[in-house]
Amino acid sequence: MEKQEILNLMRSFQQPEVVMAAHKLGVFDALGDRVLGSFDIASRIGASVRGTTILLDALVGMGLLIKEQGNYKNTATGRASLCSDGNDPIINALNHIGELMESWRKLPESVISGRSNKSEEKTFSKNPEVNSSFIGAMAEIGRPNGRIIAKNINLAGCKMLLDVGGGPGSYSEEILRVNPDMRAIVADLPITIETARHHIEQGGFADRIDFKAADIYNDPNVDLGIGYDVALISNVLHMEGAEKNRRLLQKVHAAMEPNGLLMIHETIIDDDHASPVDRTLFAVNMLVNTERGNCYSFSEMQAWLLESGFVGIEFIDCFEQPSLMLARKVG
């Protein structure tokens, strides 16, 4: 990388900071469908005119607001996604990213200690508010991926899905949508299930999706039930270390029917763990946010699956980046 590129890279923190400040101050909601001058906006968000004007102009420069004759308005995308009453909101995702930005500021401490330095009360498993934005973010981000899985994996004839660490249940919903005879169980922490119930009711799937409150990683006697002909583990394995993931796969194997199909949806990194770059950064995200989480390669997860008794392990190329693996329990 050239010197100028390094300098540009170092300044790339600025745009996310501007968006986060605007989100936290309620700039997009203050505008809503209105066209307003900076004085009006400043008074609506309770901020100085100087600060508001500079922030608004930066948002215009970035393409997140429109400026016409000195007044400001939301873009169509901003109205839909950045306003809390928009029709395609990413508000939970923004709140969640705000939490992540806080953890990333403690990266040097995490490198030294080898783990997250977040206080317990800031974790999704302890704090209902953090859980709500984390699981809400998973719902906003995950649904399109759930649709891709539902479209590409033929589950004809399958009856019962176990969605391990299913969070808001968006993947289950998308799979059930194209497989009308299937039902699902979302197994997750009690605090997450409280958040998830609301999402599943909103999605209209309350009669086909049930919950199993379970600490899938830490309870040695965890009961995932039995009789599943399909299981999904989506975006869960990266939250833990190898040993706990091996044990989890064994528990899932035991819960599944012979010939059952396991789908692992993950952020799969290359064997050398040094590419692609976004996945190396995802591993950093796990360093600052978890005790043992990481990004894993196909070979690593394949080895865990084989040890747990799964066979027929294959990579499915249906996402832009490597993300989906299938495995079967022997018949």
Ligand X SMILES: C[S@@+](CC[C@H](N)C(=O)[O-])C[C@H]1O[C@@H](n2cnc3c(N)ncnc32)[C@H](O)[C@@H]1O
Residues that bind ligand X (CB under 6 A): 135, 138, 142, 165-167, 171, 188-189, 192, 214-218, 234-236, 239
Query: By C-beta, is 86 or 165 nearer to ligand X?
Result: 165
What's the closest the beta carbon of residue 47 comes to ligand X, in angstroms? Answer: 34
Both structure tokens of 70: 């000195």
Both structure tokens of 228: 């599943």
What's the closest the beta carbon of residue 99 comes to ligand X, in angstroms? Answer: 13
What's the closest the beta carbon of residue 125 comes to ligand X, in angstroms? Answer: 7
What's the closest the beta carbon of residue 220 comes to ligand X, in angstroms? Answer: 12
Query: By C-beta, is 47 or 94 nearer to ligand X?
Result: 94
List, as one string, the DSSP characters of 56-70: HHHHHHHTSEEEETT
What's the closest the beta carbon of residue 287 comes to ligand X, in angstroms? Answer: 15
List, as one string, the DSSP characters of 221-234: T----S-EEEEEEE
Contacts of 216 (CB under 8 A, 6+ apart): 164, 165, 187, 188, 222, 224, 236, 248, 251
What's the closest the beta carbon of residue 35 comes to ligand X, in angstroms? Answer: 37
Query: By C-beta, is 165 or 260 nearer to ligand X?
Result: 165
Cβ neighbours around 65 below 10 Å, total: 23
Query: By C-beta, is 41 or 138 nearer to ligand X?
Result: 138
Query: By C-beta, is 138 or 268 nearer to ligand X?
Result: 138
Both structure tokens of 32: 């809503």
CA distances (Å), 151 to each of 103, 148, 203, 319, 326, in order?
35, 5, 19, 11, 15
Query: By C-beta, is 234 or 308 nearer to ligand X?
Result: 234
- Most distant CA pair in the chain, distance: 70
